[in-house]
Amino acid sequence: MYSKKDLLNQLEALNIDREGTLLVHSSYKSMGDIEGGPATVLDALSEFMKNGLLVLPTHTWEYINKDNPVFDVKESPSNVGVLTELFRKREGVVRSEHPTHSVAALGKEAKSFTEGEYQFSTACARESVWGKLVDRQAQILMLGVDLTKCTFIHGIEEWMEVPNRLSETPETLYSILHTGKKVEIPTYRHSGPDWSERFWKVDEILDEEGAQIKGQLGDAMVRLVDAAQTNDVLSELLQKNPELFTEDKPLEDKWRYYFRNKKSNEGNQHETDD
């Protein structure tokens, strides 16, 4: 059984920036026996990031739709796990007001990080919290889940304007804001097949490029993803191959060689400059 102290020691070993921004996708059940249950996990994460910003997704895309179009920032439950639902209710936590892809944040600049999300008509606009992860040099902790659950990669696809990722026409959804005001939000949804099921394809290349490291929290395997580096790697891949996640097959070796050769050429260029 893992105590809060055990979890804090494991978090320390992951080399997380305690004064930075950490977004956590999670599967609590993957962690094994935790003394005190989910509350202990949130206590450990909150304490570890007390001088930074802790963010958990509190998405509602599973049930907020054209047939049930009203999202209430104070009441609508998260559909992405027990830790996220408990976290959004904690004292001091601020939840964003996007109807389908809200997040909850605690700590440094939580209010400014989350405000204004209801203005975006897509799930992962570059100016939204998902783009701010790049700007803030954030880290993304995939706790017991793999890259297929990484919403941030949807953002990269959106910013690179990969075809067929968003619906052609918007749904009319609504958000009830913290003020109680109800606003209409024409929302373009993720469309077509579930492209995220193929995000596994880039797991190894992100390892090789230093954009993620692997470790453990409780019994769970975790990935610590560097948002800016991942954006750089995947933006380049998607620019050269927009069908990257459309194709249901492993990443071709030529892309590994491409990045290796690129680094080698850059190294040679530095030697020439010197």
For 104-121, what is each residue's pLDDT tens digit?
A: 999 999 999 999 999 999
Using the CB atoms, write b or e for 129-151: b if 16+ within 10 Å: bbbbbbebebbbbbbbbebbbbb
Q: How far is Cα 210 from Cα 152, in angstroms, rounded to an integer?
A: 17
Domain that holds residue 127: 4-273
| pLDDT for residue 264 | 67
Paired strand residues for 21? 53
| pLDDT for residue 267 | 60
| pLDDT for residue 181 | 98
What tokens were used for 176?
């009830």
Q: How many domains does the chain divide into?
A: 1
Close Cβ partners of 140 (under 8 Å, ≥ 6 residues apart): 22, 23, 24, 25, 133, 150, 152, 223, 224, 225, 227, 230
| pLDDT for residue 269 | 58
| pLDDT for residue 191 | 85
| pLDDT for residue 254 | 87
- For the beta carbon of residue 262, count every other beta carbon within 10 angstroms: 12
CA distance to 34, 95, 246, 249, per residue, from 192 (Å):
38, 28, 10, 18
What tokens were used for 84?
């996220």
Rg for the chain, CA atoms, rounded: 19
| pLDDT for residue 108 | 92
| pLDDT for residue 248 | 85
pLDDT tens profile 167-198: 999 999 999 999 999 999 999 998 877 889 99
Close Cβ partners of 138 (under 8 Å, ≥ 6 residues apart): 20, 21, 22, 23, 55, 132, 227, 228
Among residues 234, 232, 257, 253, which one has the least CA distance to residue 244?
Answer: 234
Walk along the chain (274 residues) and give the pLDDT tens digit of each residue: 999 999 999 999 999 999 999 999 999 999 999 999 999 999 999 999 999 999 999 999 999 999 999 999 999 999 999 999 999 999 999 999 999 999 999 999 999 999 999 999 999 999 999 999 999 999 999 999 999 999 999 999 999 999 999 999 999 999 999 999 999 999 999 887 788 999 999 999 999 999 999 999 999 999 999 999 999 999 999 999 999 998 888 998 888 878 878 766 766 555 556 5
pTM of the model: 0.94
Helix (H, G, I), strand (E, B) or coil at 68: strand
| pLDDT for residue 262 | 75
Q: Are 178 and 75 in contact (CB under 8 A)?
A: no
Per this entry, what is the length of the chain? 274
Q: How far is Cα 168 from Cα 148, in angstroms, rounded to an integer?
A: 24
Which H or E run includes 261? helix 253-273
